[in-house]
Structure 1
Amino acid sequence: MALLMRLLTLVVNVLCLPLHLMEATGLYRIYKYIFPACLYRCSVMYNKKMHDKKMELFRSLPHFKKPGKQLTVLEIGCGTGTNFKYYPAGCKVICTDPNPNFQRYLKSSMAECDQLIYERFVVASGEDMGSVEDETVDVVVCTLVLCSVNDIPQTLREVHRILRPGGAFFFMEHVVADPSTWCYFFQHILQPPWYYFGDGCEVIRETWKHVEAAGFSDLKMNHVEAPLVFIIRPHIIGYGVK
């Protein structure tokens, strides 16, 4: 089975040679302008499928508001802003994303969720959020982002840096399946084209291992099978307290 998986992955990589060349020559950057429109449509579908799980997860957000203070939420890779409707009214939101082309869709989501206070949009990767000061955020939110960052441990170190003591990191991420399953088999075979059409997304990451090693004082994490297409069905959902 492992040999067949490697062979088929090699075949798919060969078929993806034009995409590899586009990335090597810089032409793939054009997709950065197209991807926000694609993600907007996919995010609407994802929210419908995952609505109950998001409601359950984000129900705990108010617990991390300091008495007499405004809850401050920073979202890494906010994309089109599809998480905004799950945030408690009156909270202050800082949006970050490495792709500035999302701002058009963010404005639309902000208009629909005017119960929130939007502080700013920062063009930054998860690995480098230097414009955000140390220990100034109550909650960091990260959904479907750790699959595409270049360095998960560095991203989590940045999360620790900007979270105040007692603050929390909320996450909802798809991960690699159990090696004994057909899902695992096809995740590896389909990874090469998925990487390009998903703007750097990798479905074969063991993201939970990095979260477990990130040094949170209290970590609540569940492995679930999401009601989605099989390649992104395995998920981890939860939060960790600094």
Structure 2
Amino acid sequence: MTLAVLALRLVVIILSFPMFLLNFLGLWSWICKKWFPYFLTRFTVTYNEQMGSKKRELFSNLQEFAGPSGKLSLLEVGCGTGANFKFYPPGCRVTCVDPNPNFEKFLFKSVAENRHLQFERFVVAAGEDMSQVDEGSVDVVVCTLVLCSVQSQEKFLREVRRVLRPGGAYYFMEHVVDERSTWNFFWQQVLEPAWNLVFDGCCLTRESWKSLEQAGFSKLRLQHIQAPLSWVLVRPHIYGFAVK
């Protein structure tokens, strides 16, 4: 890490000192957990407008992974406000997992607006420990903008593989670190400590594709893109699916 990055990081930390002080006192996490669902409600509207075509492309073959009954059993981890519901096929049975219980009322609003789905339940749990979900019990796991904030990508992906049935698929759409030669990478490094606090553990500099490549899936289809987003820092994206 260059001296310029370290110096500018220090400036950012000084300017946002009250936030870091609240975090030191153990209060920031509580504030963030309450605030974040309201932010995400607004953010996902914009994100879906700008990334809708990519999401439709990503989820276009979901139904191919349905079990013998023809009904798709889908687990969404880090479900947030239910922003992906409208992209799922009719009759899809959906279970949601999120570590933040404050998303529940926003999630059920999305359930009410997406009657084409069969909603099963909402589980409050971290993605690294989904013990309330049985092994090999779902056809598909979906995560969007989640790998940036889990504590351990390796543990998380092991849990994904555990809950998937053999031949099931994991669908992902994630922002990642930019190329090291870019100014965007420079600013991702500078702003990451403050960004991580403001956005509930989100990291800007993760190379999430490496964790996916090493996770032990039988097949991985992954694309790198510069997403057409207003927020430059999160434009570098990967998306695709992996088969157990």
- Report how far residue 89 of structure 1 moved: 0.3
What amino acid does structure 2 have at the position aligned with 1:9?
R
Q: TM-score, normalised by structure 2?
A: 0.96
- 2:55 pairs with 1:54: yes
Match of 1:18 in 2: 18
Q: Which segment is superposed worse, 68-77 or 47-56?
A: 68-77
Q: Deviations over 1:112-168 (max 9, x none)?
A: 101100110000011110000000010000000111111110000000100000000
Q: What CA distance in whole angstroms lies between the structure 2 residues aligned with 1:227 and 1:194?
A: 20
**Match in the other structure for 1:120:** 121
The corresponding residue for 1:240 is 242
Aligned-partner SS, 1:18: helix
Query: How many Å separate the matches in 1 of 2:193 and 2:216?
Result: 32
How big is the shift at 1:23? 1.4
- Root-mean-square deviation (CA, aligned residues, Å) is 1.1
**What is the CA-CA distance between 1:232 and the residue it aligns to?**
0.2
Q: Which residue of 2 aligns with 1:79?
A: 80
SS at match of 1:60: helix
1:168 and 1:97 mapped to 2: Cα distance?
Answer: 19
Distance in 2, matches of 1:32 and 1:58, equals 29
Identity %: 54
Residue 155 of structure 2 is matched in structure 1 by 154
Does the alignment pair 1:193 with 2:194? yes
Alignment gaps of 5+ in structure 2: none
Separation in structure 1 between the aligned mates of residue 105 and residue 97 of structure 2, nearest angstrom: 14
Secondary structure at the aligned position of 2:94 is classed as strand
Contact 1:148–1:200 under 8 Å retained in 2: yes
Q: Which residue of 2 aligns with 1:181?
A: 182
Moved more, 181-190 or 19-28: 19-28
Shift of 1:3: 2.4
Structure 1 distance, partners of 2:38, 2:97, is 18
Q: CA deviation at 1:195?
A: 1.2
Instruction: For residue 10 of structure 1, report the CA deviation from its aligned partner.
Output: 2.5
Give the 5 Å matches for 1:134-149: 134-149=135-150
Scaled by the length of structure 1, what TM-score is found? 0.97
Larger mean CA deviation between 52-61 and 24-33 belongs to 24-33
SS of 1:59's partner is helix
Code of the residue aligned with 1:119 in structure 2: it is E
Alpha-carbon distance between aligned partners in 2 of 1:170 and 1:24, rounded to the nearest angstrom: 36
Q: How far 1:31 sits from its partner (Å)?
A: 2.1
Q: Which residue of 1 aligns with 2:205?
A: 204
Once the two structures are overlaid, the 10-residue window that deviates more, 21-30 or 92-101, is: 21-30
8 Å contact kept, 1:16–1:192: no
After TM superposition, the structure 1 stretch with the greater mean CA deviation from structure 2, 11-20 or 58-67, is 11-20
| Counterpart-to-counterpart distance in 1, 2:48 and 2:69 | 32
Instruction: Number of aligned residue pairs: give it.
Output: 242
- Cα deviation, residue 11, structure 1: 2.3
1:166 paired with 2:156, answer no
Secondary structure at 2:190 match in 1: helix
Deviations 1:80-126 (A, max 9, x none): 00000000000100001001111111111111101100110000011
